[in-house]
Structure 1
Amino acid sequence: MGYVWGVDSTQKVTKELYDCVLKTFGKPEYWGRYLTTVPNASQGLTSEEITFLQNSGTKVLPIYNNFKDATGYRKGKVTAQNAAFHAQRLKFPKGRLLFANIEKFFDVDESWIRGYVDGLYSTDYKPGFYIDPVNGPFSSAYCKAVSKDSRVSNQSVLWSTLPDRGVSKARKAPKFNPTKPTCKSNVWGWQYGRNAKNCPINTNLVDDRLYNMLW
């Protein structure tokens, strides 16, 4: 099993930003980008950006962050449907992961997590969660959801923000060792470094299995 290096950014990927990463850190094999524009949080991904990244040999990792509260089954389902709508709008093929961006200060409950998994199940996209496994309520809510429905742990992929090892060049990435919830989970992504000074990006390692589910 291998691990693949890449980055994510809230900003749009321009040639200038891509070249900054290339020169400073190395070639990103994938780039995490937000599906929609959220004021003061993220610039939304565009079709032109997808073409630019793919022509550069870089896959796209889609993140959905247009929500502030992760409670209630129905809200989880609606979030999943919204994420799928934007992925379809940008022509993401079926079978790709769509990561819900869950910040540590969000309220999260197990029913929302089940709702998100169930909501994506009918769309043929796969559920992913970008999470802080230690701070905030995600891990305990996730483990409760897993105990209620094994589909949660079987279907979903987690992208952990801990431990923070600091940004690094691709060839100096740490050994893949993200912090995980205490229950069964597929922690296949690790954002090991944040807020690079030279270019406005974060650095990541992902498991081959996650990489193969990107576009």
Structure 2
Amino acid sequence: MRILNWGVDSAAAVTEDLYQCVIENFGRPDFWGRYLSTIPNISDGLTPEEYSFIQNNGMKLMPIYNNFRQAVGARAGAVAARNSIFKARQLGIPEGTFIFANVERFFEVDADWIVAWVETFYNSPYRPGIYADPDEGPFNAAYCQATTMSNLVLEQSVIWSAEPEPGTTTKRNAPRQFTPSRPDCEANVWAWQYGRDAEECPIDTVLMENRLFQTLA
């Protein structure tokens, strides 16, 4: 039987108040997805103190890199990867951790960017993840083309799928079946954001396979 871990992600910093809101309304997360960069009106960047708070409360960190607005071109993909690796090192995130590029469904995406993101990580101590929507937008075609351009894309990368969205739930009531949308080609889809924008707290709800959870810090 597939072992699943339940957690959340948030653009807001994990404060005691937000943590208590999640505990009281949803349950204790196994992990918390957080952005590495501060982007005005979009995300609070993770701090060392917040990272310690997450760990001290028995959770693992799911790092997300979102300091880009489109995913086009090899140069941009390599720059995004290098910047995320630098941020991860700054924060003391352990080697071997997957870092997820935040590729929104409305972004422009091409295969060159994906290949460069993955190949740049291959020469680093970290591993390449991609948060993306296989159903809406250009990611599906770009990813499948990227797998034909570089064997490393399939061998090294993991996808965190944004579809389908049955809605946020408590930990206890999370989906029993792990059924994220997948690209039309072979892919390692190991995480699923199945609920967005919870009413009770500013979080999304996420399921991931235990093999990904074990790599988190």
Instruction: Specify if TM > 0.5.
Output: yes
Aligned residue for 1:214?
A: 216
Q: How does 1:89-168 map to 2 (within 5 A)?
A: 89-168=90-169
Give the Å deviation of 1:173. 0.4
Aligned residue for 2:198?
A: 196
> Structure 1 stretches of 5 or more lacking a match?
none
1:69 aligns with 2:81: no
Cα deviations by residue, 1:47-90 (Å, 9 ceiling, x for unpaired): 11111111100001000000012111111111000000000010
Aligned residue for 1:180?
A: 182
Counterpart CA distance in 2 for 1:14 and 1:30 is: 15
Give the Å deviation of 1:94. 0.9
Q: Secondary structure at the match of 1:171?
A: coil
Aligned residue for 1:17?
A: 18
Counterpart CA distance in 2 for 1:194 and 1:133 is: 16
Aligned residue for 1:81?
A: 82
Aligned residue for 2:207?
A: 205
Counterpart CA distance in 2 for 1:106 and 1:164 is: 19
State the number of aligned residues: 215
Q: TM-score, normalised by structure 1?
A: 0.99
Cα deviations by residue, 1:108-160 (Å, 9 ceiling, x for unpaired): 11010000001111112100000011111011000000011121011000000
Counterpart CA distance in 2 for 1:124 and 1:53 is: 22
After TM superposition, the runs of 4+ consecutive aligned structure 1 residues lying more than 3 A away are none
Counterpart CA distance in 2 for 1:182 and 1:136 is: 13
Identity of aligned residues (%): 50
> Structure 2 stretches of 5 or more lacking a match?
none
Counterpart CA distance in 2 for 1:52 and 1:68 is: 29
Counterpart CA distance in 1 for 2:75 and 2:120 is: 9
Counterpart CA distance in 2 for 1:192 and 1:186 is: 17
What is the one-letter code of the residue matched to 2:192? W
Q: Secondary structure at the match of 2:172?
A: helix
Counterpart CA distance in 1 for 2:116 and 2:190 is: 21
Counterpart CA distance in 2 for 1:61 and 1:103 is: 17
Counterpart CA distance in 2 for 1:95 and 1:55 is: 20
Aligned residue for 2:48?
A: 47
